[in-house]
Amino acid sequence: MQSPISRTIVLRDGVGLRALEWTTPATHAGAPIILIHGLASNARLWDGAARALTQHGHAVIAIDLRGHGQSDKPDHGYDMASVAQDVVDVIHNLRTEHPDWHRPLVVGQSWGGNIVVEVAAHHGDVVRGAVAVDGGAIELKRMFPEWEQCKQMLAPPKLAGMPAAQLEAGMRAMHPDWSDEAIAGAMANMEHLPDGTIRPWLTFDRHITVLRGLWEHSPSQLFSRIDVPVMFTPATRANDPITQAKREMMAVAEERLRQGKVVWFDPADHDLHAQYPQRFADTVHNAITEGFFA
């Protein structure tokens, strides 16, 4: 089974991001693709989808954002504009190495979906388009008008010190249809300590800082200024209030975007790219080959 090459890409402020390079444009003729994970996640959760996209003939790289996974963990730069600039820095670095990394497709899940929408809105000249995976239209202020309420409701559980085996068992119980590879990708959200316990790579305080940046983000105000194509792949399991809110935001996106496309995954988990890696890769590949991201 193919595995990626791990490398470090250094940003404008000296922060190093761990990147998993599956293939390069020199060996694949398809579209170059950069994969961006969600809040408190990591690049390894893309493994199945990245491999499938590679098999479709695309050059693929997945990155750990600052503070996450095996990337550097500074105490600054977690607002949406700065993290979006990190992605642009990655693109510039890759393009310097190989001209075929010019205007890659940026794909982001959840918070990462909002990030790629931010990139498309403010740096559209460096990308061919964006794919937002159950994200890209997250507006927490609609649900939590006050920051303190959002912080209280969405603060992460304090998992540090939990036995890794206990966490893995819980993940398997919660996601019985996930592959071993997907479970391993989720477990890579954690640092595994010698005593058999774990702690999140993203610290609690940094998690709250990122959450504040997401709470402040209003992608609906950006859609009308985006010139490149944007595809959304939202997930749903029932017509609950969360799904209804997603449908409302997808309607706003389709109305305001110059080139917008929505492909629903139903039923699906929030991490649908890990749950259905081949199906997700096929969806992206089909959009590319059909000319949506031309």
Interatomic CA distance for residues 208 and 189, integer angstroms:
16
pLDDT at 38: 98
pTM confidence score: 0.97
- Measured distance CA(82)–CA(155) in Å, rounded: 22
Residue 98 confidence (pLDDT): 87
Q: What is the pLDDT of residues 153-165, one digit of tens each?
A: 999 999 999 999 9
As a whole number, the mean pLDDT across the chain is 96
5-10 and 16-21: which strand pairing?
antiparallel
Q: What is the pLDDT of residue 30?
A: 86
239 falls in which pLDDT band (50, 70, 90)?
confident
Q: Is the pLDDT of residue 238 over 90?
A: no
Q: What's the pLDDT tens digit per position in 174-229?
A: 999 999 999 999 999 999 999 999 999 999 999 999 999 999 999 999 999 999 99
Q: Residues 286-293: what's their mean pLDDT? A: 97
**CB of 121 within 8 A of CB of 226?**
yes
pLDDT at 86: 98
Interatomic CA distance for residues 105 and 261, integer angstroms: 15
In this model, does residue 28 exceed pLDDT 80? no
What is residue 17's predicted lDDT score, i.e. its pLDDT?
Answer: 98
**Distance in angstroms (rounded) separating the CA atoms of residues 30 and 118:** 24
How big is the chain, counted in residues? 294
Is the peptide bond preceding residue 32 cis, with omega within 30 degrees of 0? no
All structural domains of the chain, each given as residue ranges with its CATH number in brackets, are 5-142+218-289 (3.40.50.1820)
Confidence of residue 25 (pLDDT cuts 50, 70, 90): confident
pLDDT, mean of residues 61-90: 98
Question: Residue 151 pLDDT more than 90?
Answer: yes
Is pLDDT of 1 > 90? Answer: no
* 230: confidence class by pLDDT, cuts 50, 70, 90: very high
pLDDT reading at 241 higher than 90: no
Q: What percent of the chain has pLDDT over 90?
A: 92
pLDDT tens digits, residue range 90-100? 999 999 988 88
Higher pLDDT, 71 or 101: 71
Token pair of 190, please?
Answer: 């954690």
Give the pLDDT score at 243.
Answer: 92
Which residue, among 172, 154, 138, 179, has the nearest Cα to 44 in the 3D structure?
A: 179
CB atoms within 10 A of CB 195: 9
What mean pLDDT do residues 33-43 have? Answer: 98
pLDDT digits (tens, 9 = 90+) for 52-63: 999 999 999 999
Identity of the amino acid at 125: D
